[in-house]
């Protein structure tokens, strides 16, 4: 009752009350109008930004597709150019090998000619005459020297051209790898959308990365690499033709000098080469057996590793089961089974290790045998030289020399056997 009797500290008039109500109503109306205007503006902005984003994305999708198409065309062009360069490198390498074989073959002809001249110097008294045979031998020596100089020059030119082709190929390959990576990146970008799991905000994504180039520079670079490779291929083709012509000319010039006793020399060298080829066949078989044995050893080692892992599992299971509480720690069938498994695995590992040791011993024996075979191959190569020493005079030229040139590694310049006859 006391509370009801309390009066407010201030009382307002009816006009004040009415004015306050009108102000509140007017403010509410004004606020609603502002809100409606803002909502209309927001809807218009949403529509505008949505359309702009949609068209921007569509434009960029089109640009990405066009860029992918452009890069793909250049990639295909570089693919073809790389294939052409590889084909030209292979062709030039083969011609260079032929020139090296021809050059190496000239050593035998020169050695035989010089040996014949030395042997003829051993003549005495009236027999020491400047006959047509000696004149032909001196002519042959001059022709061989000229042929060797020309062939050596061609081999050097081929080696230099191979380096240039390899350099051009490296440039093409580098450009090609860039195209492949760019295609992968652009295709990834093309596949992205708002539902992609890997999209996120990035720091300063609109920056220009260091090393960026203009489209014109990008295209000029690929065009330059392609043009450079084509120029080197043209130069290589001309060089191959020149090398083939040089080989043919030098062989033709020497043909007249090697017509006396070719049949006997061919027969003797064939005999030694057959033995050499037989040993090479044995060497190849031994190498194949070594490779198979090494593979078996690898498999044995892998089996041992697997058995060790299985043993670890069995050990872990046994050890873990020791943690069972109280009466649960019983020797059940699982315990006996795991124990038997451990014993079986240990026995298997011992047997595999024993067999591995036997295999490694066999591999060592194969390596020793391979060394014996390779040593014998070297001895057979030396025997070819010694057989030439046993021949009389021109019997060393019974077979065209180039057929007895040792096989030469084009780039390492190594030989499988020595074929040059000794000097007298």
pLDDT tens figures, 25-74: 888 888 889 888 888 888 888 888 888 878 877 888 888 888 889 889 99
- 69 in any annotated domain: no
Instruction: Determine the Cα–Cα distance for residues 194 and 182; give it in Å rounded to an integer.
Output: 22
Q: Which residues neighbour 150 within 8 Å (Cβ) at sequence distance 6 or greater? A: 246, 250
Judge if pTM exceeds 0.85. no
Q: Residue 416 has what pLDDT?
A: 41
Domain ranges, residue 169: 82-192+219-322+334-396
Q: Please state, as a whole number, how many other Cβ atoms lie within 10 Å of the Cβ of residue 173.
A: 15
Q: Rounded to 5, what percent of the chain is helix, strand, coil?
A: 80, 0, 20
End-to-end C-alpha distance for the chain, whole angstroms: 149
Instruction: Determine the Cα–Cα distance for residues 383 and 207; give it in Å rounded to an integer.
Output: 73
- 227 in any annotated domain: yes
- 71 in any annotated domain: no
CA 378-381-382 angle, 5° bins: 90
Instruction: Report CA dihedral (192, 194, 198, 201) to the nearest 10 degrees.
Output: 110
Instruction: Determine the Cα–Cα distance for residues 365 and 95; give it in Å rounded to an integer.
Output: 41
Q: Residue 405 has what pLDDT?
A: 42
Q: 198 — phi, psi (to 5°)?
A: -105, 10
Which DSSP letter does residue 327 get? G
- Structure-block tokens of residue 380: 């057979």
Q: 239 — phi, psi (to 5°)?
A: -65, -40
- 209 in any annotated domain: no
Q: Residue 420 has what pLDDT?
A: 40
Domain total of the chain? 1
Instruction: Determine the Cα–Cα distance for residues 237 and 87; give it in Å rounded to an integer.
Output: 11
Contact of 134 with 393, CB cutoff 8 Å = no
Average pLDDT over residues 152-171: 94
Q: Is the pLDDT of residue 117 over 70?
A: no
- 201 in any annotated domain: no
Q: Is the pLDDT of residue 245 over 60?
A: yes
Q: Is the pLDDT of residue 397 over 70?
A: no
- 260 in any annotated domain: yes
- 7 in any annotated domain: no
Q: Average per-residue pLDDT in the chain?
A: 79
Average pLDDT over residues 376-392: 60
Which DSSP letter does residue 420 get? P
Each residue's pLDDT tens digit, 70-88? 889 999 999 999 999 999 9
Contact of 297 with 356, CB cutoff 8 Å = yes
Q: 335 — phi, psi (to 5°)?
A: -60, -45
Contact of 88 with 165, CB cutoff 8 Å = yes
- 187 in any annotated domain: yes
Q: Under DSSP, is residue 408 helix (H, G, I), strand (E, B) or coil?
A: strand
Q: Is the pLDDT of residue 421 over 50?
A: no
């Amino acid at each position: 009752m006391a509370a009801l009797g309390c009066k407010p500290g201030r009382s307002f008039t009816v006009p004040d009350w009415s004015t306050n109500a009108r102000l509140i109503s007017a403010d509410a109306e004004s606020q609603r109008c502002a809100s409606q205007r803002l909502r209309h503006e927001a809807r218009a902005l949403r529509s505008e930004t949505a359309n702009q984003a949609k068209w921007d994305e569509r434009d960029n999708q089109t640009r990405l597709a066009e860029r992918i198409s452009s890069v793909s065309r250049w990639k295909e062009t570089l693919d073809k150019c790389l294939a052409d360069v590889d084909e030209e490198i292979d062709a030039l390498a083969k011609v260079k090998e032929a020139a090296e074989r021809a050059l190496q073959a000239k050593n035998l002809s020169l050695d035989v000619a010089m040996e014949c001249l030395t042997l003829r110097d051993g003549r005495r008294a009236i027999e020491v005459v400047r006959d047509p045979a000696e004149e032909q031998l001196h002519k042959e020596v001059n022709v061989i020297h000229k042929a060797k100089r020309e062939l050596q020059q061609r081999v050097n030119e081929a080696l230099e051209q191979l380096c240039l082709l390899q350099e051009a190929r490296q440039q093409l390959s580098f450009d090609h790898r860039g195209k492949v990576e760019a295609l992968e990146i652009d295709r990834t970008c093309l596949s992205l959308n708002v539902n992609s799991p890997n999209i996120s905000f990035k720091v300063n994504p609109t920056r220009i990365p260091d090393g960026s180039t203009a489209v014109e520079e990008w295209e000029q670079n690929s065009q330059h690499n392609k043009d450079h490779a084509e120029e080197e291929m043209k130069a290589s083709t001309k060089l191959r033709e020149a090398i083939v012509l040089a080989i043919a000319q030098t062989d033709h010039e020497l043909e007249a000098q090697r017509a006396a006793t070719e049949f006997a020399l061919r027969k003797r060298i064939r005999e030694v080469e057959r033995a050499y080829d037989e040993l090479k066949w044995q060497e190849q078989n031994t190498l194949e057996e070594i490779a198979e044995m090494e593979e078996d050893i690898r498999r044995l080692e892998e089996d041992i590793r697997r058995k060790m892992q299985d043993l670890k599992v069995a050990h872990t299971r046994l050890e873990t089961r020791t943690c069972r509480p109280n009466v649960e720690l019983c020797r059940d069938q699982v315990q006996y089974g795991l124990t038997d498994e451990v014993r079986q695995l240990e026995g298997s590992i011992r047997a595999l290790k024993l067999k591995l040791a036997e295999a490694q011993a066999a591999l060592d024996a194969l390596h020793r045998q391979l060394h014996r075979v390779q040593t014998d191959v070297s001895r057979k190569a030396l025997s070819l030289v010694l057989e030439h020493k046993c021949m009389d005079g021109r019997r060393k030229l019974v077979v065209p020399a180039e057929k007895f040139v040792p096989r030469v590694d084009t780039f390492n310049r190594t030989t499988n056997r020595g074929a040059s006859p000794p000097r007298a």
